[in-house]
Amino acid sequence: MYLEISDPMDYRVALYIRLSKEDESEGPSQSVTNQQSLLNEFAKEQGLSVYDTYVDDGWSGTNFDRPDFQRMIRDIEQKKVNMVITKDLSRLGRDYIMTGHYMERFFPENRVRYLSLLDGIDTGVDSTANDITPFRAIMNDMYAKDISKKIKSVKRDKQRKGQFIGGKPLFGYQMHPTEKNQMIVDEKAASVVRHIFGLALEGVSCRQIAVRLNEAKVPPPSVYAGLTQTQKGAYAGLWSSERISDMLQNETYIGNMVQGKSVKISYKSKKCQHQQRKDWVVVEHTHEPLIDREAFEKVQLLLNSRKHTRSRTYDFLLKGLIFCHECGYPLAVLNRKNAKGEESLYFVCRTYQRFTKAGVCTCHAIKEKTVTDAVLGELRIACKAYLNQDVLLPAATKALGEASRQDIQQKQAEALDNRIQSLTDHLDKVYMDKLSGLLAEADFQRLYQRLKEERSSMEKERAAIQQPDFSPAKQRQVAQALVERFVSEAFASRELLCSLIERIELTEDKKLILRYRFKALAQSS
């Protein structure tokens, strides 16, 4: 050893050891055991009194929030330690700014002598080794930066190949038991995901979906994964509308691997920045989808239609689709009473509502039902050629005729059996929640009764599936009923409206302008 301590009895020594994954590439000489042996041998040779040994195993040198490093700093501030020894300067840290802070300010201010054995650095004496310490710190920092670039490049390459490199897969999936960087379906969570998309297709809002899931005591992704709940308060461990919205917009559920949504600011910081969508890494068809693409795209149309409205009080069929023709802003909806005291929803121009005295735009006030009926009437006329019963009936009859008796029975029975089993599992869970004290008696009785009645109804329907009548006359009768129901009810579906209509504009003189998503409909209207 080149370093010598002339007054060893004056020092209380901290031996500091650090090892990270990138250091392991330098060879076994950097191991914790090797560092500890070297430091203990030096302390023994110099007759130094070791106060404690501080070990941070698996921590990067760019991060100074290491647990044992911070414990050593506290001991220094409490005057328990006045000498720090490391194997080399890179063990103290690889960030030259923070390394310089501790060597040039913190250690001198706290009367701490620092030694780096292999570098020959000793702040207790004047030497040329001390003079070049800043350059050594910069070189260590550059090494950490180079390693960071290499790791980032490897990860980016895996992302482009569609390999999953995250910590935990998205809710609905789990890691493949044998193949690295691959995901498979987690059926238990996947059923919840499919249920969420099903509710969204029915026009249920994200907030209402979250409410229903919370009422049914369905655990959210963080609870399901067993993660520690950092959020405190009444809403901790519950579904939120934001969580539902994120899930409904995530392409991972249609079989695309979506990664790179956020990146670390730098190798010295843990903070991440959200990336623009064009910078995401999206690889198609990498795993089994939970939702088909058509259903996913319909959900996006429904979500986008709600972006144009701020109303959370009233639900109406044209929500998010109707705008003022003059100013271009979405129409607001108000609840007003007529002369008879009956409440009715009215459309009004939001611009006029906000700037009435300024004379900007006009009221455009009109009953919501009047506009809705007019829009549905226009849409029926535009779709008349496509919804002709004479055309639909033969197609429906043919489709029923092509379906075999066994196939229909089997599909109906399987669907009912799955639903009955799901309800039974739910009943068991509700009962266990009651026994464990997670569910109050009143909530238990309400949920138990509702689930039991629903299961009983399903069981009766399942038992009724015997030998259906597949005669030609019966098939035509069923087909007729299906066509009539579709023609009469189809236009009351928000899913259909959002799929066909891009935008509705109401003029000052109460005329409607419908902008269709398909040119054929616009030409026929």
184 in the same domain as 101? no
Question: Which of 200-214, 293-307, 460-474: highest mean pLDDT?
Answer: 200-214
Helix (H) or strand (E) holding 142: helix 133-160
**Average pLDDT score over the chain:** 78
The structural domain count of the chain equals 2
Q: Is the dihedral of CA 337, 338, 343, 348 positive or negative?
A: negative
Least confident range of 35-44, 378-387, 451-460: 378-387
List the end-to-end C-alpha distance of the chain, in Å, as a whole number: 93
Domain range for 292: 173-303
Residues 6+ away with beta carbon under 8 Å from 403:
none
Q: Which structure tokens are listed for 456? A: 């009983």
| Domain end among 250, 282, 303 | 303
Q: What is the CATH number of the domain that holds 251?
A: 3.90.1750
> Which residue bears the tokens 């493949």?
176
76 in the same domain as 140? yes
Residue 239 lies in a domain: yes
181 in the same domain as 138? no
| Domain end among 286, 303, 320 | 303
* pLDDT given at position 311: 45
| Domain end among 130, 147, 164 | 147
182 in the same domain as 104? no
Distance CA 3, CA 48 (A): 13
Residue 390 lies in a domain: no
Please tell me which residue, 386 or 119, carries the higher pLDDT value.
119
Least confident range of 100-114, 123-137, 428-442: 123-137
Q: What is the CATH number of the domain that holds 39?
A: 3.40.50.1390
**Tens-place pLDDT, residues 285-324:** 888 889 888 888 888 888 876 665 544 456 678 887 889 9
214 in the same domain as 113? no
238 in the same domain as 115? no
Residue 41 lies in a domain: yes
Q: CA Rg, the chain, in Å?
A: 34
Residue 289 lies in a domain: yes
Q: What's the whole-model pTM score?
A: 0.46
Distance CA 140, CA 89 (A): 8
**34-54 burial: b if 16+ Cβ within 10 Å, else e:** ebeebbeebbeebebebbebb
Least confident range of 189-198, 211-220, 387-396, 400-409: 400-409
User: Is residue 352 classed exposed, middle or buried when 0-12, 13-18 and 19+ CB atoms within 10 A define those classes?
Assistant: buried
Residue 493 lies in a domain: no
295 in the same domain as 211? yes
Average pLDDT over residues 144-152: 65
Residue 159, helix vs strand vs coil: helix
E-assigned strands of 155-313?
173-175, 183-185, 257-259, 262-264, 272-274, 281-283
Residue 314 lies in a domain: no
19 in the same domain as 132? yes
pLDDT at residue 1 greater than cutoff 50: no
Residue 192 lies in a domain: yes
Average pLDDT over residues 412-432: 77
Q: Decide if 14 contacts 83 (C-beta within 8 A).
A: yes
